[in-house]
Every structure is written in structure tokens, then in C-alpha cells.
């Protein structure tokens, strides 16, 4: 794929690439798009014609109208399809909420709260079985949420007055595990083996966190692969 400011072009992955499709998008300076690697469910998610909206295109039947999802009220910051092409996670430039959608119906599966303060979400990834997602932001944190079993996620316990005036806030699902990345460097996160989360950061650092059954997380591995500004 080639992602331009208002276009996404799809090519064959061959020695002599051939352009197959061209899709219009709203202004997309972040280069957002996500392609499912599933051989039986080749979906492409890309920004729609309006900010906060997206289109899901089935590349096997591109003549059909795309599935439109009004995901957020503000501009999209991150969109990620799972490996199976059955789930889609989205976040806006506010960075407080992550929403998970069913790709067949466009229905909302889960609304997950990263925090209360705006943040730039750098990365969202599903676990191999799509039961969890990890979310990395510029606040120097990685949050892990359960998608299929919402009882694992935390909920705040407000007083009566707070629950009355802010019902949506206090009914939100919060992450059940949280990891700190020192320095707040921009990171990509993904799930590893043995209940672990991997983070690779723009400052050249690498982290491996291991989660326990109570929602805690321990930094097991740290490496610094690049040294910026050092003299050779």
C-alpha cells in the first residue's frame, strides 16, 4: 500500500508491482490505514470522508460499498485491525478513549478509557487471540485492556454525587495492567510470549514487561540498542 494525504493506493506485492485500487480519504497527514493479513478476510481500514469516520473495504469485493463507521467526534489518531480481520480498534486525537468495533456489522464491542487527560496515542495492538489490546501513548505509559472479558478491566468506585453527575465517566472500563516507559519516548507496543508486552521506542530502547494474574507488570528486560548524540 501507498498512503498519501487524501489517497490510499493498493498494489500487488510482486517483482513488478501493479496498482489494483485507489481509495479516497479525508486529509490523512498521519498516513493512517490498516490491512488485515488474513487470507480469507482481507479488509482495509482507512479514514472516511469526514474527520473521525472510517471506511472498511473488503478487497475481495471492492465493487461493494465500504462499511462506514462513525468512530469518533474528532480526528482519528490510530486505527488497527486484528490479524483475523474481525475486530478494529480506533482512537482519536483526544487520546482518552479507545473503541473496539466488529468488522462484520460495524457495531461497537467495547469502549475503553485510557485516561482523563488528552494524549497522543502512538500504537494499538491486539493479542494473537484478540482477547486483549495494548495501547501506548506519549504519556510514557502502556495500558492493557481486556476486550472479550470486560470484567477484567477496572472500574472506578465513585460517591453517589459523582456517579450522578458523571455517569459515563464512572461506568468506563479502565486498563487492568499499566506499564511505565521511562522518559516518555514514543513507543510501539505488541504482545509477546508468556503473558508479556514488548515496547520498542524511538530513543532506541527495548522493554519486555511480564504481566501477572493480578494485573501487575514487571520490567523483565531492558536494552538500549541506539545511542543518539554519541560520538564515534
Between 215 and 165, the higher pLDDT residue: 215
Terminal-to-terminal C-alpha distance of the chain: 37
Spatial separation of the C-alpha atoms in residues 107 and 191, rounded to whole Å: 25
Average pLDDT over all residues of the chain: 89
At 31-54, the pLDDT tens digits run 999 999 888 889 999 999 889 999
Lowest mean pLDDT among 66-70, 169-173, 202-206: 169-173
pLDDT band, very low/low/confident/very high, at 91 (cuts 50, 70, 90): very high
CA-to-CA distance for 101 and 26, rounded, in angstroms?
Answer: 20
Class of domain 2-186: mainly beta
If you ran DSSP here, which 8-state letter would residue 221 be given? Answer: E
Residue 146 has pLDDT above 70, yes or no: yes
Q: Exposed e or buried b for every residue in 9-41, given b needs 16+ CB within 10 A?
A: ebeeeeeeeeeeeebebbebeeebbbbbeeeeb
| Entry pTM | 0.89
Amino acid at each position: 500500500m501507498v498512503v498519501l494525504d487524501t489517497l490510499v493506493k493498493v498494489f500487488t506485492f510482486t517483482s513488478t508491482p501493479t496498482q489494483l485500487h485507489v481509495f479516497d480519504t479525508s486529509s490523512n497527514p498521519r498516513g493512517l490505514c490498516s490491512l488485515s493479513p488474513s487470507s480469507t478476510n482481507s479488509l482495509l481500514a482507512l479514514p472516511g470522508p469526514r474527520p473521525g469516520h472510517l471506511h472498511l473495504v473488503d478487497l475481495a469485493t471492492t465493487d461493494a460499498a465500504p462499511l462506514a463507521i462513525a468512530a469518533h467526534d474528532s480526528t482519528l489518531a490510530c486505527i488497527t485491525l486484528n490479524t483475523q480481520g474481525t475486530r478494529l480498534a480506533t482512537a482519536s486525537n483526544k487520546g482518552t478513549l479507545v473503541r473496539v468495533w466488529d468488522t462484520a456489522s460495524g457495531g461497537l464491542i467495547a469502549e475503553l478509557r485510557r485516561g482523563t487527560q488528552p494524549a497522543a496515542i502512538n500504537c494499538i495492538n491486539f493479542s494473537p487471540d484478540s482477547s486483549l489490546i495494548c495501547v501506548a501513548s506519549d504519556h510514557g505509559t502502556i495500558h492493557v485492556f481486556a476486550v472479550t472479558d470486560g470484567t477484567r478491566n477496572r472500574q472506578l468506585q465513585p460517591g453517589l454525587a459523582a456517579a450522578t453527575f458523571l455517569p459515563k465517566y464512572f461506568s468506563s472500563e479502565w486498563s487492568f495492567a499499566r506499564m511505565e516507559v521511562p522518559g516518555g519516548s514514543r513507543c510501539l507496543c505488541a504482545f509477546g510470549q508468556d503473558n508479556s508486552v514488548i515496547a520498542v521506542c524511538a530513543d532506541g530502547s527495548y522493554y519486555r514487561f511480564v504481566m501477572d494474574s493480578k494485573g501487575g507488570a514487571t520490567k523483565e528486560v531492558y536494552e538500549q540498542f541506539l545511542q543518539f548524540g554519541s560520538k564515534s
